[in-house]
Amino acid sequence: MGTAKLVVALVGYGYWGPNLLRNYMDLPDVEVKWVCERDARKLGKAKSRYPSVTATDDYSDVLNDPEVDAVVIATPISTHFELAMAAVKAGKHTFVEKPMTASVLEGRALVAAAEAHHVTLMVGHTFEFSAPVVAIKELIASGELGDIYYISSSRINLGLHQRDVSVIWDLAPHDFSILFDWLGEEPEHVSAVGRGCVKCDIPDVAFVTLRFPSGAVAEVQLSWLSPVKLRRTLVVGSKKMLVYDDTESVEKVKVFDHGVNLTEPGSFGEFQLSYRTGDIVSPHLDACEPLFVEAQHFVHCIRTATRPKTDGISGLRVVRALERAEDSMRFHAGVVQYHDQAPQLAMPDHLATELPVFGKLLEAQ
């Protein structure tokens, strides 16, 4: 692609779009040429703040512009597949916000299309580019924490209630992408419970449990109904433990040299336990905005024709877990297992015809 600036178009200037636009505008080797938004008021705001950018409410203007190298999509989840697929088929490198698509079938189709058209497909799993998450991944990979026993995460706040998706699809992509990145594996079992408190048909609180092939288990608490904002994760290993609190301004990560030692008895008798309480260390973390690092990575991958860290496969595994968790919660299916393409769902037979996306449904064991 040479040294010429990469020409980018942003699609969607709602909740998250302004943050993306600000960061892409700051990249020295990028020219943001278009902002596409159907809402005239939001489009006016973008044009007022960035006069050099061309504003449009017609997506075809972006797709038909031969100068556009890449499209950045930050629209509602239900529109991701259609918009991203159109960009891919137009030969544009495509960045799409999380979750990548609204279903596994859509996700597979989008990944296949990106491969067929030889374009870069990247998903906005922003936390995988944050300094605390990167540091914790390095700690886990180094073996400093030992074998990971369990991970517990809370992502709760008062709002923002979504109109078209549950709290699982809204908040869990963050935690799922972090978990899969840290552990390097997908869960083999997923279960979830939740309810709609404000609107009975839109669950606004959920508790998701995941079990991984390595033996690690994780619990993710999600809620739009909480008097306090929590973004806290506990990681417990056989050697050390840590707490990651994203709401902290400093010391977001604290590593505890705490644990339990089990001594096997030499003869018949009780097991002997000893508890270790050592130092607490907060590692130094680079001060950088994850969104800027993410944008840099997307541009770098396009220029070097390398696969993004959060590529389509990464996006697909998150969508797969979201779909399984949603199934478990809505159909009271208990544990949903990862067997080929069809989850094990416990639901009445008459619902099968309404859910072709899930393929053949296996009866509950």
Q: What is the mean pLDDT of the chain?
A: 90
Question: Is the pLDDT reported for residue 270 higher than 90?
Answer: no
Question: Is the pLDDT reported for residue 358 higher than 50?
Answer: no
Question: Is the pLDDT reported for residue 267 higher than 70?
Answer: no
- In percent, the amount of the chain with pLDDT more than 70 equals 88
User: Each residue of 13-46: pLDDT tens digit?
Assistant: 999 999 999 999 999 999 999 999 999 999 999 9
- In percent, the amount of the chain with pLDDT more than 90 equals 79
Residue of 332 and 328 predicted with greater confidence: 328
Give the strand pairing for 148-156 and 253-263: unpaired
d(CA 188, CA 338): 5
Mean local confidence (pLDDT), 36-65:
97
- Determine the pLDDT at residue 68: 98
Q: Cα–Cα distances in Å, from 307 out to 13, 40, 70, 302, 320?
A: 27, 36, 15, 9, 20
- Determine the pLDDT at residue 346: 40
What's this model's pTM, rounded to 2 decimal places? 0.87
Name residues whose C-beta falls within 8 Å of residue 282's C-beta, 6 or more positions apart in sequence. Answer: 251, 253, 254, 255
Give the strand pairing for 148-156 and 217-223: parallel
The distance from CA 147 to its chain's CA centroid, rounded to whole angstroms, is 24
User: Each residue of 213-242: pLDDT tens digit?
Assistant: 999 999 999 999 999 999 999 999 999 999
User: Each residue of 108-156: pLDDT tens digit?
Assistant: 999 999 999 999 999 999 999 999 999 999 999 999 999 999 999 999 9
User: Each residue of 158-182: pLDDT tens digit?
Assistant: 988 888 899 999 999 999 999 999 9
Question: Is the pLDDT reported for residue 359 higher than 50?
Answer: no
- Determine the pLDDT at residue 345: 38
Three-state DSSP at 82 gives helix
Question: Is the pLDDT reported for residue 335 higher than 80?
Answer: no
Q: Which residues pair with 260 in a beta bridge?
A: 275
- Determine the pLDDT at residue 240: 97
Give Dmax (Cα) for the chain.
Answer: 80
Mean local confidence (pLDDT), 315-332:
95
> What are the structural domains, with CATH classification, of the chain?
6-125+290-310 (3.40.50.720), 128-281 (3.30.360.10)
Name residues whose C-beta falls within 8 Å of residue 303's C-beta, 6 or more positions apart in sequence. Answer: 1, 6
- Determine the pLDDT at residue 331: 86
The phi, psi pair for 62, rounded to 5°, reads: -70, -50
Question: Is the pLDDT reported for residue 274 higher than 90?
Answer: no
